[in-house]
Amino acid sequence: MPFSETYFRKWRGSALESIADANARRTIRHHFKESPTTAVRNVAKTLDDKTRNYAYEWERISNLHRDSGVYRKISEFIGEKDGLLIDLGCGTGNFLTQWSKTPAVGVDLNGYCLQLAEDKLKAKWQVDRYSDSTLEFNSKIGFELKPLPAHLRRGYTLLLDDITKLHITEKMLAEGETKADIVTFMLWGSYDVFKGTHFLDEERTSYETNSSAELSKKLVYELPRILKNEGTFYLGVRIDDGIMKALGQVGISMEKMFGVIAKDKGEVQRVATIELPQENGGSLIQVRHLIFNQNEQQNVLGLAEIKIKY
Ligand SMILES: C[S@@+](CC[C@H](N)C(=O)[O-])C[C@H]1O[C@@H](n2cnc3c(N)ncnc32)[C@H](O)[C@@H]1O
């Protein structure tokens, strides 16, 4: 599948500019065998290859979900709702294509995923994709992918942003003097393509901040920056059905599990489960259970509607 844009050159150029400083070059010499210029080239190349491969691989797995009706069922669970929808970590756009209502925004840190999302959406809708980014030296983590500004449009807006920060998303909404009515976040938990980039801080990655459960909890606190008061958050997580049933027998329900994530910021309104196809066969995509945080086979998507109040 050809991509209309690749990011390697832009990332190499911006990363080279960002290591003009002698301290940055010293740090790089300390961590890499190669010269700073070669090291930067290799980091940019590896990141470009990994993000592209991830997009291909998630596209394949996500299409399995699409074909078994997962995104249709999620859409049905949400029901007939109007307003601005923001899909966090939208991947290759299969949920947005199923949602098929505008305005809607898809946010992802992988520009190749956004390109694949655009290919699907543009057949029917107006799509504005903002997937430009630079790669810059950060003295705490190594290299950091920095998204560039975006503007909210009436159709579909595809936006490169780090959902652990939401800087670009928040700025774009503030410029449009609006916030979302609905935020969705589903099927989270993936391979970290930034491990090589964040060489100074291997513990901290953009894809996983401790665990997916922790990220979801943090997100609930950050949602008021992008979601209207009384807006709805849909959280869809992979759960081992067998474990969940066993927990149910000792009185731990899915509502309770989601309640722990929503804490005092959100009220769990409804929950549902959706059968998932097996996701195995991928070399890059590693699935972790959000709730149990293990690398096991899951078989259902636990879905919750959470009203956010602030
Ligand atoms: C497992 S896929 C799920 C995609 C989509 N929600 C779906 O259901 O098809 C996870 C997505 O999150 C994106 N992602 C991972 N870390 C991210 C971050 N820090 N900020 C934004 N997107 C991120 C990945 O690029 C990937 O597209």
Containing structural domain, residue 243: 8-308
Q: Distance, CA 138 to ligand 1 centroid (Å)?
A: 23
Q: With contact defined as beta carbons under 8 Å apart, do 263 and 217 qualify? A: yes
**% pLDDT > 70, the chain:** 89
Cβ contacts of 22 within 8 Å, gap of 6 or more: none
Continuous H helices in 176-292 = 212-222, 241-249, 254-262
How far is CA 76 from each of CA 2, 79, 98, 144, 274, rounded to the nearest angstrom?
Answer: 33, 5, 10, 38, 11
Q: Distance, CA 91 to ligand 1 centroid (Å)?
A: 5
Confirm whether 41 is domain-assigned: yes
HSE-CB of 283 using CA atoms within 13 angstroms: 3
Confirm whether 232 is domain-assigned: yes
258-308 pLDDT, tens digit per residue, is 998 898 889 999 999 998 887 765 554 444 444 444 445 557 888 999 999
End-to-end Cα separation, the chain, in angstroms: 44
38-54 pLDDT, tens digit per residue, is 999 999 999 999 999 99
Record the pTM.
0.93
| Count: domains in the chain | 1
* 118 touches ligand 1 (CB under 6 Å): no
Q: With contact defined as beta carbons under 8 Å apart, do 294 and 239 qualify? A: no
Which pLDDT score is estimated for 291? 47
Which pLDDT score is estimated for 204? 60
Which pLDDT score is estimated for 281? 53
Confirm whether 3 is domain-assigned: no
Confirm whether 164 is domain-assigned: yes
Closest residue by Cα to residue 194 from 280, 133, 235, 149: 133
Confirm whether 2 is domain-assigned: no
Is the pLDDT score of 240 beyond 90? no
Is the pLDDT score of 117 beyond 80? yes
More confident residue, 79 or 203: 79
Question: Cα separation of 89 and 84, whole Å?
Answer: 16
* 62 touches ligand 1 (CB under 6 Å): yes
Which domain CATH number covers 124?
3.40.50.150
Which pLDDT score is estimated for 133? 97
Token pair for residue 137? Answer: 């030296």
Q: Distance, CA 54 to ligand 1 centroid (Å)?
A: 10
